[in-house]
Amino acid sequence: MTKIAFLFPGQGSQAVGMGKELAANYPVAKQTFDEADEALGYKISQLCFEGPEDQLKLTEKTQPAILTASIAAYRVLQEKGVTPNFVAGHSLGEYSAHVAAGTLAFADAVRTVRNRGKYMQSAVPVGVGAMAAILGMGIDDLQAVCTEAAGSNGEVVAPANINSPDQIVISGSAGAVQRAADLTKAKGAKRAIMLQVSAPFHCALMQPAQDALSSDLFALQFNNPNFSVVKNIDGRSTSDATESRQALVHQVTGAVQWVRSMQTLIAADIATFVEVGPGKVLCGLMRQIDRAKTCLNVEDEASLQKTISAVQQ
């Protein structure tokens, strides 16, 4: 049997209309959106299906919206008999991975990621932090640039998302991120792109958010995952409830070790990767990490049917 890993997308993959077709065609997907509406006390289903886009982009709404669309797609796959050997999720997607693995109850996860969004948004005043995508510079060189750009005035800048060998996102104080971006261009990076984000995610400035989220996570029931979950914080897999909770706490300030996570899955002989939820961001990153791997996605009827026929051959 071909070994399969399900990958769950993070913030930035949202789009108006996500999940709508699956909810219309599959009762289990509609039920997932109904469950999320009830857990949140407002119609996140309507926001996913119809927008408006500016509301869907608000972090505290984006996070539960992507989680819900991802789990709706996952449950349809599960109903069709397609199950993974491993799961992983990018940042927010790690919560989707844990719901899929049975570590966390869906309603608990939806409420938790709404709060996670609120905490991350309020941890740093708008304009104080920034993020930038650096293309074409290795992690060691970029780490050195960040150290130089941070200087001695207490500003923070560090790698936040190690997405592929060619794409690393840095995060921190606005001035330090801008200096680092300028330095990378001077030192041979292909491009440095300042990102339109509402807060500097996955860096030390997120400590207040991590502290607040930690008490929420410790109030929740965590089960041992039904299949191995690869953690963002170190790229290693776990089947342990306590480790899973700790990883979700530490990923708020820690970097997303996506390259390491994919290397762990490749080393486990995963031949087929399925991005479950809106967009194809993670399939794009997989092409940069290992072009030889098959990466499919499931976000609507057409992509669902294509994936089912590919994995059942």
Catalytic entry in 91, 96, 244, 261:
91
**Nearest-angstrom CA–CA distance, 58 and 236:** 31
Half-sphere exposure of 241 (CA within 13 A, CB side): 11
Does the active-site annotation cover 96? no
**Nearest-angstrom CA–CA distance, 218 and 181:** 37
Percentages (nearest 5) of helix, strand, coil residues in the chain? 50, 15, 35
**Nearest-angstrom CA–CA distance, 132 and 200:** 9
Catalytic entry in 171, 202, 244, 303:
202
- Cα–Cα distances in angstroms (integers) from residue 15 to residues 28, 90, 271, 280, 299, in the given order: 21, 17, 28, 12, 11
Residue 37: Cβ-neighbour burial (10 angstroms; 0-12, 13-18, 19+): middle
Whether residue 52 is preceded by a cis peptide bond, meaning omega within 30 degrees of 0, is yes
Does the active-site annotation cover 91? yes
Q: How far apart are the first and last CA of the chain?
A: 10
Angle 258-267/281-289 helices, nearest 10 degrees?
Answer: 70
Note the Cα 261 to chain centre separation in Å: 12
Using alpha carbons, select from 277, 270, 307 the residue that is nearest to residue 80. 307
Which residues are catalytically annotated?
91, 202
